[in-house]
Amino acid sequence: MFFLPAETAHYFTMRLLELPFGTSIFSGKTIHEEKLGKEVGGIKFPNPIGLAAGFDKNARWIPILAQLGFGHIEIGTVTPKPQPGNPKPRLFRLPKDKALVNRMGFNNDGADVIAERLKSLDRSKINAIIGGNIGKNKVTPNEEAVNDYLICFDKLFDYVDYFVVNVSSPNTPGLRELQEKESLAGILSAIQNANHKKANPKPVFLKISPDLHYDQIDEIIEVVKETKLTGIIATNTTISREELKTDMETVEKAGDGGLSGAPLAMVSQGILWYLRSKCPKDMVLISSGGIMNAHQAKKRLDAGADLVQIYTGFIYEGPALNKRIKKLLLQETH
């Protein structure tokens, strides 16, 4: 797969898994994994390992990914209107660092098409929770962004189990400005107002950047508490390129975009520790960023994460990473 361009390899791999017996060969399931089920944010998760947003942007592969052993699958980021994203190539590997650089730019089929795709799923055959990661279209100015989030929230509401507000991707111009206190409070308040008008409100999370200063994180915690969100997902990808093993020529050739994978591990771990020390005990924390092996996943859970999400670790290690994490966690249940 690594001989192919990164984005090509992504789609080729999923097509292979669509073949008969594809998921049985690469299953990430293990015996007794039912013991790993836990209730988080009022939802019963089959296990604490999720697939972060960005892998299945268009909700095409949920049954396959559930067979690979994920306890939750986060689709998206979904925008109201379909958009092609940034020009290709836009996904690059840095194998020496076990990292990826992406500048996808919220390429997706749009909320209407994705809602129909989710509606057609037979949930009785899918033992996984589905999350909806929502964002704004590139052409939507920030002062009108709240409308985009509300459109996606409304269209996906009946088909996902929880929502994630994405204001932290570095690949949509100006998006991260929405993490500033006033803008963020406006968006989250509007979503929660819409949420509480529903008969059965859904858990709502905020996904934050790893490039925030601690005073910015403090402001975000205050907004999350004020708007009574379920919790925070920490973290998204970073724009930093510090302390990489890859030569600078290769890094520069990859260009701008969010970096994920092993170099993000310490930063994401540090932000998790900080959040757990500052947030109320009942605020749910989902840790994402740089989880490349079972011990790192367990370390995040031990540090106070309620759930973990993997993405780049899944690219480099495959479904076996799911199985290794579960086996390590099950050792504690005996």
Question: d(Cα 17, Cα 144) in Å, to the nearest integer?
Answer: 40
Among residues 168, 169, 209, 288, the one annotated as catalytic is 169
User: Which of 284, 286, 285, 243 lies closest to 261 in space, CA to CA?
Assistant: 243
Question: d(Cα 10, Cα 1) in Å, to the nearest integer?
Answer: 8
- Binning the chain into helix, strand and coil, the percentages to the nearest 5 are 40, 20, 40
3-state secondary structure of 181: helix
Note if the bond before 77 is cis, omega within 30 degrees. Answer: yes
C-alpha torsion sign, points 20, 124, 287, 229: positive
C-beta neighbour count of 243 within 10 angstroms: 8
Q: Per-residue b/e over 19-38, b at no fewer than 16 CB within 10 Å? A: eeebbeebebbbeebeebee
Question: d(Cα 308, Cα 285) in Å, to the nearest integer?
Answer: 9
3-state secondary structure of 75: strand
Contact 90, 77 (CB under 8 A): no
Is residue 277 annotated as a catalytic residue, yes or no? Answer: no
For residue 230, which amino acid is it?
Answer: T
Instruction: Give the pair of three-digit tokens for residue 66.
Output: 């559930």
Catalytic residues, by residue number, are 169
